[in-house]
Homo-oligomer: A and B are copies of this chain.
């Protein structure tokens, strides 16, 4: 019953798990980038593709999560290996949730297209493209940081979250202003607010991913730690 395979074999299994996580990250990335294309270019077809991708991402999550627990149950990993597996398990969830947010963007796109994209909302939609590009960059950097176990890059992701939050606040203000000017823009404006919120959350998930990279490398759980505390720990 007890596993007698050598550590080298376990290392190969860990590498395979990391590769699968990165593949899942690639799926989340393309889902988000297609969702941003769909909403900024008013493409219902692309929005539908995003909803298709969601199923693949969910299936990947269920499968990978099960594999992680089975690995831990099958073997008795060292503290360091266990740390990596726990971190991967948390990252799996964040990626799945990024997929959920991309799905929300795609659903909002369908609603906006059904009701006709209100002209006065063109500027906020461009703002959503810009904020979304930031969120996508944070996601890419977080995945790169994991692939290279690069703590400096992970810290850069944590820091850039402020820029994304500022972009979100600005979007909200501009949407409120449009809705005040023209009551017909209230209903589509609200859809755009939830889209903006979804992008802010993608940023939060990218931040979580980056925190897990720090946890893997340094062994410190920095999830509920203020930024200066994180920097002190890492440097």
Contacts and interface: CB of A to CB of B under 8 A. Distances in A.
Nearest to A223: B62
Nearest to A224: B58
A180 B194 CA distance: 18
A193 B223 CA distance: 28
Contacts of A69: 72, 82, 85-86
Nearest to A178: B186
Contacts of A223: 58, 62
A194 B200 CA distance: 13
Interface in A157-207: 172, 176, 179-180, 183, 186-187, 190, 193-194, 197
A73 B62 contact: no
Copies in the complex: 2
A26 interface: no
B176 A187 contact: yes
B186 A180 contact: yes
A69 B75 CA distance: 12
Contact of A1 (B66, B73, B76, B221): B76
A225 to B, nearest CB: 11
Contacts of A190: 172, 176, 190, 193
Contact of A179 (B1, B73, B179): B179
A66 B221 CA distance: 11
Contacts of A72: 69, 72-73
Interface string A71-100: 011101100001001100000010000000
User: Which 7 pairs, one residue from A and one from B, show the smallest C-beta to C-beta distance?
Assistant: A180-B183, A72-B72, A58-B224, A179-B186, A69-B86, A72-B73, A73-B82
Given A70-B82, A72-B72, A74-B76, 9 more contacts: A2-B2, A62-B223, A69-B72, A73-B82, A179-B179, A190-B190, A190-B193, A194-B197, A197-B197
